Structure 1
Amino acid sequence: MSTTPAADERTRYSSHRADAVDDQAWPEFGEQVRGLLESVGEVIRPEAGEVLWDAGDGYDLHLVLAGRVGLVDRRDDRVVFVVEAGDFVGELGMLMGQPAFLAGVAMPDSVVLRVPIEDLRRLVATSVELGDVLLSAFDARRRLLTRIGEGGLVLAGDDDRDLHRLQQFAERNHVPYRTVLRSNPAAWAEIAATCALPDKGTAVVTGRRRILAEPTTRELATAIGLDLCAISDQARCDLLIVGAGPAGLAAAVYGASEGLDVVIVEDVALGGQAGTSSRIENYPGFPRGISGSELARSAML
């Protein structure tokens, strides 16, 4: 992007907090937490319109010291969020190694503190205060993106079984998306104006305007960084767990808490078959029960 993106009436601002989720999503750093970030971060002064990271790329935490940073949907180069001075950019997928849903673009007179992701992971593991603030904020932001359907991912097609399969995969993996049906000509035309949608079948439009025609579930997973293909063939781990049901999730959490490098593999989503359960009543630590989706989300954190 060569010019500074312009916000519109749909743009959200980090300072405009309408409910409890917004409050959790944009917390204030205490002096100690800010000092930790400053100890490993680098202050940069980007030009207006400079792309700090693009949709589909890995990215670092950016604390806005002055000016603003726009979070941009690359499908139509629309500013979804404006992150203002004092707030920071980041989302749950950052810590999980997922590519960015939205691009980050500097606005005029911006100064930001860039904290490399590897340093951030180390700080989160060693600082309880920082970990609590970031994980709570990242979780709230994922819930916010999911609620408003913003994340650069569009699932398009007819209201049929193939589309429902993709929707279910996205929902169970807490991936924000927007659905566009052929039966809604206005919405379909809006998407078709920026990318070539197929005449029939399902299609997925990613944040980089990449179109997947009639994708399998695995092809969608690969496109959004949730497939084993995202892991290098040379990568090593201490513990590989096959099956992310309640037992597998417990083993992964316990292993990670002991400092092990853990990889957990599941066919569709964390939680396994139990992830679709409305209530699990025999899992330790939840005497009043817990839904399968909430258990999976909590274990992911």
Structure 2
Amino acid sequence: MRVRTLGEFKVNAIGLGCMNLSHAYGTPPDEKTAETLLLTAFDSGVNLFDTAALYGFGANETLVGRVLKPHRKDIVLTSKCGMQGVNGVRVIDGRAATIKQTCEDALRRLQTDVIDLYYLHRLDKNVPIEDSVGALADLVREGKIRNIGLSEMSAATLRRACAVHPIAAMQTEYSLWTRNAEIAVLAACRELGVAFVAFSPVGRGFLAGGISSMAALAHLAEKDIRRGMPRFYPEYFEQNLAFLTAFQDLANSWGYAPASLALAWLLHQSEHIIPIPGTTRISHLLENLTAADRVLSKIDLAQMDAVVRAHPIAGARYNDATQREIDTEN
């Protein structure tokens, strides 16, 4: 796999987002299935694993920590603070004391002495970014974290954060069907030497063809977070199926699995982009990893962009309430 820079580390070009092993997309897999997937990822060359206090309200950090503890020295372990479960409710809290306590809890759950990259998961709009990053800088000085990251924040906030302490990574959704990062923050990361970690790089499963019909949409689990995302509302989803069909036809004509082609597109956008697709299936994991070996020409990339232009994506990526919580350009 190609190697890319993430803070002080060199990581393989495709990491693993661990969220859906515990959180967000309906009923998570059983513990044995999740363990097998994590170990298969490691054995297949993945050395970047991404979790957060929010995922399963601590359960995902516990899972990742237990399973990967024997391989700790061989992986780059990342987690997030600033958004977690409190008494069963998701809470955004960027206060210094909360960040430091969340880190202590994460270290215990992850069964490690230091977290390689620790993100501020969301901007707490009641707390200056300088204060939140200042707390993270204290954790660096105390040896509890090695690098600081931000998640779902704007170029302007990134610049303010960098004035307090070097920022190693910005994590934001980015894919063929979610390209708001191209407004400003992607270029700001390149300018400032900040890695761009792309979550949901296959469009929350859409680009992989996992939900390819109105019938499949109707069968999403009741607690699947996609039910609350406008692009998956029936009135928009039906329009988006035209894009999916055109994209799948292109992938099939080139002999690529659609998910692999979507990830290859991301890797070709810039050397500072590191996608972290998540999955609960080993077959999908191995399919995703083939993207690191795909070579796309400028003509290929232009054809892919033409598909997007011909079939504009309908619907916002978040509903209004969630959109108000994030700081990204829109």
> What TM-score results when the alignment is normalised by the length of structure 2?
0.28
Larger Rg over CA atoms: 1
> Larger % of helix: which?
2
> What TM-score results when the alignment is normalised by the length of structure 1?
0.30
